Amino acid sequence: MLDLNFFIGSWSFERIISSPEIIVMGTCVFDKQGGMMETGSYHLCGSNQDCYQNYFYRIDQEYFYILKSNKEILHVFDTADFPNFHHTHQCGMDFYSCNFKITSKESFETFYVVHGPKKDYSLSTKYFKFPM
């Protein structure tokens, strides 16, 4: 069974974006309230770029939620699907498919596929927990 304690702490991550092909490296910190903050960097067009994002994770008996920084629901996963979660949704004209997999006690990964009239890319991210 998944609970919030799995995430609490600091993680490293590597994200591969398909189009344009970019590799993002960084860190991710989860707090005890389920807040998640990623900071990273990537190289594009000859210069280094910084990036960040914030989400909130919530888990109850039935569902695992990922919320946007404004607390709107981004993904809802059924906890019965542990350790392999899947969610799809439409946003405007774009379709998002997300796979979220717990791979060990110290790692998890996400894989997104995005399709739409002006979007066609994938994101693959692997997270590894820093020792405490």
CA pseudo-torsion sign 55, 3, 81, 78 = negative
| Domain limits, the chain | 4-129
Q: Which residue has the tokens 């960097």?
A: 41
Strand, coil or helix: 80: helix
d(CA 110, CA 15): 9
Per-residue pLDDT, 131: 86
Question: What pLDDT is attached to residue 1?
Answer: 80
* Residue 118, SS3 per DSSP: coil
Residues 91-107: tens digit of each pLDDT: 999 999 999 999 999 99
Q: Which pLDDT belongs to residue 22?
A: 95
pLDDT at 132: 72
Torsion of CA 15, 17, 23, 25, to 10 degrees: -30
CATH 3.10.150.10 fits 4-129, yes or no: no
Asked if the model's pLDDT at residue 125 lies above 80, the reply is yes
Checking if the pLDDT of 121 tops 90, the result is yes
